[in-house]
Amino acid sequence: MRRTALLASAAVLTALIPLTAAGTASGADDPAPVPVDRFEGEVPFGQQPAEGIFTWGGDADDPPALQLAERTDAPEGAKVLTGSYDISGYGGFTHDFAADRPAHDWSAHQGIRFWWDGQNNGKKIAFEIKDGGANGEASELWTTSFTDDFSGWKQISIPFTDFTYRTDYQPVGGIDHVLGLTQMWGYAVTLPVGVKGHFALDGVELYGRADQSRRASVTTDSAVYPVGEGGAAQVKVTVATTGSAPLDEPVTVTYDTAGGTAESGTDYTAAQGTLTFPAGTPSGSTRTIQVRTLKDKAAEPAETIPLKLAVTGAKAPAETPQVVIDAHGLPYLDSRLPLKKRVADLLSRMSLEEKAGQMTQAERAALTSQGDIAAYSLGSLLSGGGSTPTPNTPEAWAKMIDSFQLRAQATRFQIPLIYGVDAVHGHNNLAGATVMPHNIGIGATRDPQLAERTGAVTAGEVRATGVPWDFAPCLCVTRDERWGRSYESFGEDPALVESMETVIQGLQGRADGRDLSRDDKVLATAKHFVGDGGTAYGSSTTGSYTIDQGVTKVTRQQLEAVHLAPYRTAVDRGIGSVMPSYSSLDILGDGQGPVKMHARADMINGVLKGRMGFDGFVISDWNAIDQLPGDYATHVRTAVDAGVDMMMVPYTYKDFRTTLIDEVKAGRISQKRIDDAVSRILTQKFRLGLFEHPYADTSGAAEIGSAAHRAVARQAAAESQVLLKNEGGVLPLKKSQKVYVAGSNADDLGNQTGGWTITWQGASGTHTQGTTILQAMRKAGGDVTYSKDASAPLNGYDVGVVVVGETPYAEGVGDVGNGHDLQLSAADKAAVDKVCGAMKCAVLIVSGRPQLIGDRLGAIDALVASWLPGTEGDGVADVLYGKRPFTGQLPVTWPKSESQLPINVGDASYDPQFPYGWGLTTLTRVPNGGTATLKALALAAAAAERTHSAPAGRAIVTQARLLVQQKAGPGITAAIAAPFADADHLLLTGKYAAAVAKLTEAYRSVT
């Protein structure tokens, strides 16, 4: 699922309130303007802690080029600030005041203004100011925008009351959410994206007097007040001032209840009156308005009572608060009724507009206002990768989602939202959550029970923040390690993927859905249907991607055996939702050619819902319908008719809903199809218990990132470690040994957790709580010296440990050929060469896929595939120091060269560096006896197969595997690799005797 980081994106900026840009005449008693920037050279180009103007951007090309230029038409002085820009991500410039001097007090002024040289390009320019905090880069950001729809110089005046708290990014997570104006640290300008241009700015200054109506505001404690019929709503009205000064003049609030769907005198007692806050009233003072509702005997949907507020002497609330009389007495509200009856009753009452809203999912940060939830009857919101509340804490998540759910209570039937996140290896958007190894590492554990436990931990942490829906697990079968999503797969063998689908029960509970309403379970999503792991290299048409979102070209038999098989298992396990793939499917011989999966009715309606009997709902991928051919109405019609029930349309939720309604009214989409989609969505909302408990149950919040949860992640990290080579018994290490540690990934938590961690792409460095491999080795009691680049002296050590590998990426951004390859970096290669040339060494590869290491393998004594182990580096140290044995096995084939790709178990030509299923062990006795032992194991395996004794069968095949690995050593030939890999596939399909026979063949091939 593609997720964009929501830092100053153009989509977010367009949601900001545009200014009416005009010069404001100063009153006779206004103070003189106070200059902030004259651009005559008094403020240098520089950065913190000194005062200065500096640029920034999303990548190296995004920061604008600035200069102070003399202009004869300068509105003020002789010089202006000019700049040129060509921004693809985000970019702009900042003026920070000096951090070693007191912050500035702007509270006496009405606003800030400046001269802008208009280019008439119609683009929005974001302007933000920096309030409170330690300095300009650790302050609270408040933002607004103006439109460059004019030519030549124009003075832009912005009252401070027009600034809103920035919700998409805060450098320190927000401070007090109050624009105090008494400790200001400067301003910043964000320039337009996607247009090459230039600008000029001059005369930034503070203007006007801060009269009370501009610095005082009236707010209510909520926008929606649901009450049971006959109950009373208590609406708290608060007056507050900028800088928290007492009121200079009285503030009056006249209120009146009128204009809603509830009827005065029948449904409620009308309320009118005036509240007065006299001069001298302290900021933060509150008065209460009570609205009483009346009881009758009728069953009714929810009814609204707007409380209209007229304010003098202060700024009025941004929207009219509503009292809502809860829906009552209707069958769908009766939890004792059968689920199907509840769904049918509710569906029968809904309008087309309400049904279309249920099929619409928006990104939380893209809402024009929270009122849109009720206005458009939205069925769902999501957090994309990196889309988090401020601060990013469990409490803030729960509070945010509760505020969204409260808005849904203002709809006729009070249908709760279903909120979704990509918790693909733990609640990975949440700072401090337990981050598991990525799926590729879980596949390496070969431990279905552990996979289920990781799912249970994830579900508990996700649900405790108010989120009931997880866009996981990914059931892709990765067939080419050049794919940037390889690490999202459990492995290259569909049998391995199927065996790890116990994670679904960890997430959802029992297959019949009875556990979904628990406070520690979430709705799971099988993705990406179908064939996303089989796309051909070079087939992608998405930007610079090379393989992700490309074309999977297969025979129908290959499709069934490799890519569809995991979905049959998922449906049997009761998966609640399914997400189609961005990729296209080309089934050889069907005459259709490549068709985008979001358009394949034969696969979604025909195979998934029809033949497999999937009864959950299908959610589109992020903006995926935009990739379909035709105009927008065709996109909507094609996807809905193909069987997609809910559309993830992050920024275009209004357009989608309107278009869907129009298509149904025109007869191009059937009402029957709409009813099917909405029934499926409502069914899962009822199963989740959202109608009875829409708000966050935070009783499990104390367990987020707890020792018990981290213990599960630690075990998963340990079991995911695959020991590929161990000459001379270098591993496990002894605590008495002096160990020299080097490499880029030894002490980098961000590299260790990979993509989809806090942000979509992930990032190097420390951005959440966890233990790096280096820290864990020290905690384990090791005598450790660390030199990242191996520049420290190398003499006097018993063994070296070099931790190398990849830096984070996600999706097609990580495709090989899109700025990535399978080679170690030059710095990592140098570290390996230095350490392994000076002492016995173990090399750990922290990566989402195999790295090409063959040219250095001879100099390496021990080699470990560490994958992306998550936050618990202690699990890696556990196997390094022998607290646990190495038991992991390769979930994918480890190639010798990139030219071998794609290479997978079962290929006719199979000569890898290490075969699928390879994994040495420590602390475990390897049987002796050679072929005689294998013959005895073959008989025992046949017996286990006859009696369907899976534990015995697995143990027997493991014994045979260890025997082959011991004899083969590092000299793995094609004759050994092919039957060895086949044996692991046979083991996973329960064919224990055949697996031992293949291992016997491999054993006999060892020369």
Among the listed residues 155, 153, 210, 156, the one whose alpha carbon sits nearest the alpha carbon of residue 180: 210
Q: Are 828 and 805 in contact (CB under 8 A)?
A: yes
Instruction: Look up tokens 């003098």; give the residue.
Output: 312
Which tokens in the block code for residue 278? 């006299």
Other beta carbons less than 10 A from residue 555's beta carbon:
12
703 labelled catalytic: no
Enter the DSSP assignment of 445.
H
Q: What is the DSSP letter of 717?
A: H
| Beta-strand runs (E) in 469-516 | 469-470
- H/E element holding 444? helix 439-445
**Strand bridging mode 469-470 / 647-648:** unpaired
Distance in angstroms (rounded) separating the CA atoms of residues 988 and 500: 11
Our CA angle for 57, 50, 390, nearest 5°, is 50
Residues with Cβ within 8 Å of 12's Cβ and at least 6 positions away in sequence, in order, are 6, 168, 365, 366
Tokens representing 317? 């609330």
| Residue 798 annotated to the active site | no
Query: Would you call 597 exposed, middle or buried from its count of C-beta atoms within 10 A (0-12, 13-18, 19+)?
Result: buried
Residue type, position 606, single letter:
G
- Cα–Cα distances (Å) from 526 to 424, 557, 571, 631, 652, in that order, read 11, 21, 9, 29, 24
Burial of 290 (0-12, 13-18, 19+ CB in 10 A): exposed
29, 36 contact by CB (below 8 A): no
**Pairing mode of beta strands 79-86, 164-165:** unpaired
Q: Which of 205, 621, 861, 945 is catalytic?
A: 621
Q: How far apart are CA 257 and CA 536, in angstroms?
A: 63
The CA distances from residue 862 to 474, 715, 872, in Å, are: 31, 21, 22
Closest CA to 724 of 551, 372, 970, 531: 970
CA proximity to 502, closest of 722, 716, 339 = 716
Cα distance between residue 862 and residue 780, in whole Å:
20
The burial of 22, by beta-carbon neighbours within 10 Å (0-12 exposed, 13-18 middle, 19 or more buried), is given as exposed
- Nearest to residue 94, comparing CAs of 56, 60, 123? 56
How crowded is residue 716: how many other Cβ atoms within 10 Å of its Cβ?
27
Pairing of strands 841-846, 783-786: unpaired
Q: What angle do CA 54, 758, 693 make, to 5 degrees?
A: 130
Residues 6+ apart with CB under 8 A from 28: none
Q: Please give the C-alpha separations between residue 700 and each of 142, 457, 461, 640, 696, in angstroms, as whole numbers.
A: 34, 11, 7, 37, 10
Given 811, 828, 861, 1001, the catalytic residue: 811
Alpha helices of 671-791 — where are they, by DSSP H?
A: 671-687, 707-720, 749-753, 773-779
Distance (Å, whole) CA 379 – CA 359: 6
Asked if residues 746 and 843 have their Cβ atoms less than 8 Å apart, the reply is no
Neighbours of 615 (CB within 10 A): 15
3-state secondary structure 131-182: ECCCCCCCCEEEEEEEEECCEEEEEEEEEHHHCEECCCCCCCCCCCCCCCCC
**What residues are labeled active site?**
621, 811
